[in-house]
Amino acid sequence: MKINSKFLRTVFGLTVFVFLLWLVDLRKVLATFSNFSVEIIIYLILMSIVLIYVSAFKWGLFLEVLGGRVPVWRLFRLYIVGYFANLVLPSYLAGDAVRSWYIGRAVGQHEALAATILERYTGLVAMISLGIAASFLRSFVPWQIKVSMILIGLGLVAVFIVALSTRVIGFLERYSLLRPMTKHLFKIQDALNLARRDCNLVAKALLFSFAYHLLTVVNTIVAAIAVGWYNPPFFELVVVLPLILVIGAIPISPNGLGLQEGAWIFFLQSVGASPAVAMGIAIVLRAKSYLIALFGYFFWLAEKRPSVCTK
């Protein structure tokens, strides 16, 4: 059943992707790649390395407080393994679950999961905060986008409150079938609270999160230059990128295939890109994520070796 479900989602994603290529005009999209150069490819690769390193370093900050110091290089490799997991497993959160499980063998599973949740959550907070701030600083942004950003922000607040509420877990504990799970939830919640009380840690994590999402804008600008769009507006990209990424995270196709490309076309047109250029940017960034996933496969093979320490 799971295989059939993944097959259907893959077919759906490919169908939408091909339809978008037809809608935009494949020849125009291919023409955007005539600007590609070795120099641009090097910049794109360097941006990926920097982005993953920043994420791995921030993840390490939480792990150090909750479970123990882990070399950033190891976290960097596991982050890349997460790209591979996201590509081959049905859930969008598969990458987070896989990298958390592997590092949990060294620092403890509850601590690793809490650190992974916090690393991801602080990133979302920074991304949405930047999007909301930029949307109110730029006059072009329609009210629908502003409302969408605010609703997503409120959703993050609600998730934070629920995640730290002992009442919610206490309610689940009333049901005997859920009791084995609740003891794990309490341990994860304890770890979340421990990290939350460390103001210095939270401040550092948010600082790295803001830096990361500003770098994602730079990454998009490099991809834009690669396909011939030489003057993409920085602040406008700060506004639309969170929405594109949120839409791409909807789990109805593998890695948001087709869905995310549609979001790129829709939102980048609103900030001055042609449909062909927007599709070109989407393809460049997707190809880059697939290349990272390929490296993730080899790192995953290395992780499977019995020499990996366990706890």
Domain boundaries, the chain: 2-24+38-303
Is the model's pLDDT at 309 over the cut of 60? no
Q: What is the pLDDT of residue 214?
A: 93
**In angstroms, rounded to a whole number, what is the distance separating the alpha carbons of residues 130 and 156?**
14
What is the per-residue pLDDT across 91-109, written as a single tens digit (0 to 9) for each? 667 888 999 999 998 888 8
Helices (H), 179-233: 179-196, 199-226
Give tens-digit pLDDT for 130-156: 888 887 876 667 777 778 888 888 888
Q: Output the DSSP codes for 63-125.
A: HHHHT----HHHHHHHHHHHHHHHHHSSSTTHHHHHHHHHHHHHH-HHHHHHHHHHHHHHHHH
At residue 7's C-alpha, the angle toward residues 94 and 296, to 5°, is: 35
- What pTM does this model have? 0.86
Q: Is 231 exposed, middle or buried (0-12, 13-18, 19+ CB in 10 A)?
A: exposed
Side-chain half-sphere exposure of 206, counting CA atoms within 13 A: 13
Phi-psi region of 70 (alpha: psi -120 to 50; beta: other; left: phi over 0): beta
Cα 254 to chain center, whole Å? 14
> Which one-letter amino acid corresponds to residue 83?
Y
pLDDT tens digits, one per residue of 258-298: 999 999 999 999 889 999 999 999 999 999 999 999 999 99
Q: What is the DSSP string of 29-66?
A: HHHHGGG--HHHHHHHHHHHHHHHHHHHHHHHHHHHHH
Please give the pLDDT value at position 307: 47
According to DSSP, residue 25 is labeled: -
Q: Tell me the pLDDT of the chain averaged across its residues.
A: 86
HSE-CB of 299 using CA atoms within 13 angstroms: 22
